Amino acid sequence: MKVITVSIRRSLLSLLFLLGIVTSLRAQEFKFTTSVSSNRVALDEPFQIQFMLENGTNVTQFTPPNFNDFELLQGPNQMQGTSIVNGRRSDYIALIYLIRAKRVGNFTIPAATARVNGDVVKSNPVTVEVLKGNNNAAAQQQQQHQQVPVNPFAGMGQRSAPSHQAEEMEGVLKNGEDINAKLKKNIFVKVDVDKTSLFEGEQLTATYKLYTRLPTNASVTKVPAFKGFSAKDIELPNPPQASEEMVNGIPYRVFVIRKTMLFPMQSGTLELDPVEVDNHVRLVKLVKNGKRRDPMADIFNDPAFKDAFNDPFFDDIFNRPEVEYQDVPYKIQTAPVKVTVKPLPIDSRPASYNGAVGRFNMTATVDKNNLSTDDALTLKVTISGQGNVNLLNAPKVDIPASFDKYDPKVSDNIEKNSNPLSGSRTFEYVLMPVEAGEQTIPPVEFSYFDAASKTYKTVTSKPFNIHVTAGKQTKREKEDFSIYKNAITNNSNSVLNWVKHNTYFITSIWFYLLLMLPLLALVGAWLFRRRLDYQQNNAAFLKHRYANKVALKRLELAARYLKEGKDKAFYEETSRAVWGYLSNKLHVPFADLSKQLIQDKLAQQQVGEQYTADLFDLLDNCEMALYTPNHNNTRMQGTYQQAVQVISKLEDELTRAKSAV
Amino acid sequence: MKHIVTTILLCLLMSGTRLLAAPAPQQQDFEKANSLFRQKQYTEAANIYQRLVDEGFDQPELLINTGNAWYKANRTGLAVYNYEKALLSDPFSKAAQHNLSIANQRVEGYVNELPQLFFQQWWTAIKYMHAPNGWATGTIIFFWLTIAGGIVLLLRPTLLPAVVKSATGILGLLFAFYLFMAVTTYVNATSHDNGIIMGSAVKVKSAPDQDSKDLFELHEGVKVQITDGTSEYCKIELPDGKTGWMACGDIKKL
């Protein structure tokens, strides 16, 4: 039987149902069939029985057969839809029960009856062979899961119709069973991390999973913030695919809520935030002695026929009376997971390291090697590999000062849904040469930390030799608001006087010599002047002293006689000295001397009368002492003094008289 | 005899032409650098200029050209250094003032110096009336004249004594002033208490050792005053009054 089942939302479903009823029934052939998923089943193995009403118009009643030898686990589940087989369109209503055999043996499930268009129709009976419980029950069950994969997250936060045999089986709440214990056992969320100890910047993959054995509508209410991490989500298939996982020997259906690549940004113990999931678990409650009612009659006889399909108990319309559904809200969250982040080793860290962790390769290219200063070149650095590609910083490029550098343009090419994260990041530096000549851009260096080998690795490009020619530089001139306003002045090309000014005259010896020289002249002049003044002011005194000296010299011999006490010789000598002096001074021969002549001469030279008198007095004294023989030392002394005075005075008088003439 | 005369003449002529044909080697370097500058090979031009500057030539034209080349080669610190040096040798050079202000626009964290007050301007004008050696020469001349006046007063006291006395007094005052200026300008010219930051980003510390706290950061081209120093660390002061210690190696003294 080739049937394309269409699982859609209920409103659409009911609309289709109506359309099917209205449009395409008359022409189609009516069929009412019973089918089982397997004719050979094991004891305790649940299996499916399906009653299919094809192209039935005005279905008003449906009575399932009596499952005497079987235990009803769940159902009925209703499916409606349209199938196109060989270009022929047919509408169908399917009612599915999940049942389990109670005993071993061959059993025939009798036909179900339905009232279609007022007629009672019967389906075919089915024979089922029940074998003893075997081990491949689980395997068969698994097959069944794959047959009908229905996802609780198909419409996240919205209700969807769960119809999974295993879930339905678990979803049966037996009498006396505790709801909370059952939920706890059958639904939980868990976070899986691929490592709990890693380096800063190393990738960590965290997977949040929902494990369930119950039909549930789940919605994520709290999303983890990942404090301390840089997070990148892996896109999940939409609608999500369930997988099977055994936990303690019990199979669970597992849905991945979120899968994130995390890159720790700091070291220390970091905690992954819990994720919170709100579940609405649909449990089936068995009510043993419930009142039997006919839901078909209730529903299809309802005047608001269409509205009946939106009724929350729509699913229940074919319910057997002893089965009831219960929606149980259940909030679960993951246990927080602690991750130890180790800091990157510092001692061996290269200078060019700036945060890359993983395994990378780097290429650096320039788009041209020959250009003028009017042109620009692009240095393109591409870092590709696995690791925190999304967090790569621009490698430091030592652009020479002869280029104007602009901030790099960053473009990413990250492989979609790659885990570990891989891809490339490209940095484009636009460089404007400002100087002509052979320029060298030093090698670009990029370092990363290889978490696998726990070492730093450095990739270095080749240096780039750029030949820059002088351009016209018309562009730059235009940028200036006015000439010389924002530009430096032109160079001076004049001929300079190449003299160094680093010798200082003030520190040379010449400075001080030249200062000393006039000082010497000044001292010389002062000395000269002093001498002049001396000569002018003290001439008289000097002369008097001279005269005195002359007298003393003349009386030298007399002084000796005076000491010796030879009075005769003394007087003689004193007399002779005075006469000798006068002869010398007045230019008269010694023999011609006489008192009268001396008097005349002295008068002639205008010597004062009293000097002349003193002179003659002295001469008289000497003559008298010569011829009077009384010896008197005191008188000799007086005479000597008198002689000195007379000669000195005469000398002074004569000099003065001479200068006066 | 005639031979000797012609030989002397020839020698004079040859030396004359040689002087005309071959100017100072520095001038050749200077012109070479000028032509490199015109060809936009700024770094090479700047290197030649800088060599001349480092040899001790301080012609403002040379210094401005050097600054221009460094500026064009994007070496702001050296550009500022040379412009400042040009202003030291000629504080009224319009070109140096203008170019320095443009270069300072590139200096990160440039602190504007306060403009000089009128009396400071006068003082600068007076200081730069003569070169340091001019002041020293003037000192000598006025000293001689003063002494000459003194000698006249000594030896010829009768020769217009009032006139000679007052003239000598004025000359003595001029001598004292010139001596003072000679000393001041010499001290000014030889003291290197200003410098330009050469490192691209230099940390200024609170004390002269490596472990002390970082106070602030200075960038290439900032002019600082050096107020104190050890062999490795210099105490600096900024025009806005901030002080700190930094490695002397990062400062190029003016």
Among the listed residues A290, A370, A354, the one whose alpha carbon sits nearest the alpha carbon of residue A324: A290
Which of B105, B140, B180 has the most A C-beta neighbours within 10 Å, making it the best mutation to test the interface with A? B140
Cβ of B41 and A436 within 8 Å? yes
Contacts by residues B180-183 (CB-CB < 8 Å, ≥ 24 positions apart): B181/B126, B181/B127, B181/B130, B181/B135, B182/A506, B182/B132, B182/B135, B182/B136, B182/B138, B182/B139, B183/A506
Which chain B residues contact residue A437 at CB under 8 A? 40-41, 43-44
Q: What is the pLDDT of residue A648?
A: 80
Of these ranges, A45-54, A454-463, A604-613, B172-181, the one predicted with the greatest mean pLDDT is B172-181
Query: Is B111 a domain residue?
Result: no
Q: Give the least confident one: A300-304, A614-618, B49-53, B238-242.
A: A300-304
Q: At CA A27, angle to CA A26 and CA A33, rounded to 5?
A: 85
Q: What is the pLDDT of residue B144?
A: 92
> Are B164 and B233 contained in the same domain?
no
Closest alpha carbon within chain A to B189: A502
Looking at the fold, whether B55 and B127 belong to one and the same domain comes out as no
**Is residue B73 within 8 angstroms of chain A, CB to CB?**
yes
**Of the candidates B105, B132, B150, which is a domain's last residue?**
B105
Q: Which of residues 123-142 of B touch A (CB under 8 A)?
A: 131-133, 135-137, 139-140
**Opening angle at CA A279, ends A278 and A284, nearest 5:** 160
Q: Check residue A222 and give left, alpha or beta (phi > 0: left; psi -120 to 50: alpha).
A: beta
Assess if residue B127 is contained within a domain: yes
Q: Which of A387, A380, A332, A383 is nearest to A357 (CA)?
A: A387
Higher pLDDT, B37 or A653: B37
Check CB contact of A439 with chain B, cutoff 8 Å. Answer: no
B144 in the same domain as B75: no
Q: Is residue B18 part of a domain?
A: yes
Query: What residue in B sits closest to A497 (Cα-Cα)?
Result: B59
* Chain B contact probe: residue of A434, A489, A519, A531 with most B CBs at under 10 A: A489
The reply to whether A627 touches chain B by the CB within 8 Å rule is no
| A80 membership: H or E segment, kind and range | strand A70-85
- For residues A287 and B159, the model is more confident at B159
> Which one of B71, B105, B139 terminates a domain?
B105
Alpha-carbon span A75 to A46, nearest angstrom: 12
The residues with which A70 forms a beta bridge, in sequence order, are A101
Yes or no, beta carbons of A489 and B57 under 8 Å apart: no
Q: How many domains does chain B have?
A: 3
Contact state of A526 with B140 under an 8 Å Cβ cutoff:
no
pLDDT at A304 over 80: no
C-alpha A351/C-alpha A347 separation (Å) is 11
User: H helices within chain B, ranges in order?
Assistant: 2-21, 25-38, 42-55, 60-72, 76-89, 94-105, 118-127, 132-155, 161-190
With vertex at residue A124, the alpha carbon angle to CA A118 and CA A127, rounded to the nearest 5 degrees, is 150
Tell me if B59 and A373 make a contact (CB, 8 A cut-off): no
In this structure, the answer to whether residues B25 and B48 fall within a common structural domain is: yes
Cβ–Cβ under 8 Å, residues A415 and A423: yes
Q: How many CB pairs under 8 A join A and B?
A: 137
End-to-end Cα distance, chain A: 180
Q: What's the Cα-to-Cα distance from B188 to each of A61, B80, B202, rounded to whole Å?
A: 118, 20, 27
| Residue B98 belongs to domain with CATH number | 1.25.40.10
Residue A195 CA neighbour count, 13 Å, CB half: 17
Q: Which of A361-375, A632-646, B20-34, B193-207 has the lowest mean pLDDT?
A: B20-34
User: Is residue B231 situated within a structural domain?
Assistant: yes
Exposed / middle / buried, residue B80 (Cβ in 10 Å: 0-12, 13-18, 19+): buried
Tokens of B189: 């010219």
**B97–chain A Cβ distance below 8 A for any pair:** no
pLDDT tops 70 at residue A323: no
Q: Are B100 and B6 part of one and the same domain?
A: yes
**Range A515-537 average pLDDT:** 86
A470: its two tokens: 């002088």
Find which of A403, A431, A476, A498 to mutate to test the B interface (most B CBs within 10 Å of its CB): A498
More confident residue, B180 or A17: B180
Q: Is the pLDDT of residue A322 over 70?
A: no
pLDDT for B16 equals 45
What burial class does residue A201 get, using C-beta atoms within 10 Å of its C-beta: 0-12 exposed, 13-18 middle, 19+ buried? buried
Question: Any bridge partners for residue A460, and if so which?
Answer: A445
A172: confidence class by pLDDT, cuts 50, 70, 90: low
Q: Kindly state whether B20 is in contact with chain A, defined as any CB-CB distance less than 8 angstroms.
A: no
CB-CB contact of A442 with A193 (8 Å): no
Instruction: Considering only the beta carbons, identify the residue of A496, A499, A521 that sits closest to B151.
Output: A521
Count Cα neighbours of A384 within 13 Å in the Cβ-side half-sphere.
Answer: 9
Q: How far apart (Å, rounded) are the C-alpha atoms in residues A312 and A334?
A: 31
A369 φ/ψ angles, rounded to the nearest 5 degrees = -110, -10
Please give the Cα distance from A32 to A35 (Å, whole number).
10
Domain of B238? 194-253
Return mean pLDDT, chain A: 74
Q: Do B136 and A505 touch (CB under 8 A)?
A: yes
Tell me the β-bridge partners of A34: A51
B110 within domain boundaries: no
Residue of A nearest to B33 (CA): A493
Q: Is residue B170 part of a domain?
A: yes
Quickly tell me which residue has 């005076």 as its tokens. Answer: A562
Verify that B215 and B137 share a domain, yes or no. no
**Per the structure block, which two tokens stand in for A111?**
């036909």
Per-residue pLDDT of chain B (254 residues; tens, 9 = 90+): 445 555 555 444 444 444 444 567 888 888 888 888 888 888 888 999 998 888 888 888 889 989 989 988 888 889 999 999 888 888 888 888 888 888 888 888 787 777 888 898 899 889 888 888 899 999 999 999 999 998 888 888 787 888 989 999 999 999 999 999 999 999 888 888 888 988 888 888 888 888 888 888 888 888 888 888 888 888 888 888 888 888 888 888 87
Q: What CA–CA distance (Å, rounded) separates B22 from A639?
A: 99
Q: Is the pLDDT of residue A250 over 80?
A: no
Q: How far apart are CA A569 and CA A644, in angstroms?
A: 17
Probe site for chain B from A434, A477, A488, A529 (most B CB atoms < 10 A): A488
Higher pLDDT, A150 or A497: A497
Q: Is B70 on the interface with A (CB under 8 A)?
A: no
Residues from chain A that touch B72, judged by Cβ atoms under 8 A, are 434-435, 488
Nearest CB to A373 within list B40, B44, B137? B40
Interface test with A, best of B38, B39, B40, B64 (most A CBs within 10 A): B40
A492·B65 Cβ contact <8 A: yes
Indicate the pLDDT class of residue A168, thresholds 50, 70 and 90.
Answer: very low
Evaluate the CA torsion angle A135, A140, A145, A146 in order and state its sign.
positive
Tell whether B112 is covered by a domain. Answer: no
Is the pLDDT confidence value at A163 over 50? no
**A371 to A313, A321, A428, A435: CA distances (angstroms):** 79, 89, 18, 11
The band of A545, judged by pLDDT with boundaries at 50, 70 and 90, is low
**E strands, A194-347, in order:** 197-199, 204-212, 216-222, 229-233, 243-247, 250-264, 268-272, 276-286, 323-333, 337-342
Report ipTM for this prediction: 0.76
Q: What percentage of residues in chain A have a pLDDT greater than 90?
A: 1
Pairing type for strands A40-42 and A126-131 reads: parallel
Looking at the structure, do residues B180 and B156 belong to the same domain, yes or no?
A: yes
What are the tokens at A314?
């729509």
At residue B245, what are phi and psi to the nearest 5 degrees?
Answer: -110, 145
Chain A interface includes B37 (CB < 8 A) = yes
Whether B19 and B76 share a structural domain: yes
Sheet arrangement for strand A105-109: A40-42, A126-131, A105-109
Longest dimension (CA), chain A: 219
* Domain-located, residue B86: yes
Going by pLDDT thresholds of 50, 70 and 90, the confidence category of residue A85 is: low
A485 touches chain B (CB under 8 A): no
For residues A94, A95, A99 and A104, what is the CA-based torsion angle, rounded to 10 degrees? Answer: -60
Measured between CA atoms, the residue of chain B closest to residue A505 is: B133
Question: Closest chain B residue to A491 measured between Cα atoms?
Answer: B65
Asked whether the beta carbons of residue A501 and residue B131 sit closer than 8 angstroms, the reply is yes
B62 touches chain A (CB under 8 A): yes
Model confidence at A230, in pLDDT bands (50, 70, 90)?
A: confident
- Is the CB of residue A491 less than 8 Å away from at least one CB of chain B? yes
Q: Of the given ranges (A108-122, A224-238, B8-22, B78-92), which has the lowest mean pLDDT?
A: B8-22
Answer yes or no: do B185 and B198 share one domain: no
For position B240, which CATH number holds? 2.30.30.40
- What's the gap in Å between the CA of A405 and the closest CA on chain B? 11
Decide: helix, strand or coil at residue B166.
Answer: helix
Same domain, B199 and B180: no
For residue A591, the one-letter residue type is A
Q: Are B73 and A373 in contact (CB < 8 Å)?
A: no
Residue B44 forms contact with A (CB below 8 Å): yes
Q: Say how far apart CA A259 and CA A192 lie, in whole Å.
A: 9
Strand-pairing partners, residue A438, are: A467
- In this complex, the residue of B26, B43, B68 whose CB is nearest that of residue A491 is B68
B77 has a chain A CB within 8 A of its CB: no
Final residue in a domain of this structure, among B136, B156, B190: B190
Is B206 in the same domain as B244? yes
Of A55-69, A155-169, A338-352, least confident by mean pLDDT is: A155-169
Cα A145 off chain centre by: 53
Same-domain status, B85 and B180: no
Instruction: Judge whether residue A140 has pLDDT over 60.
Output: no
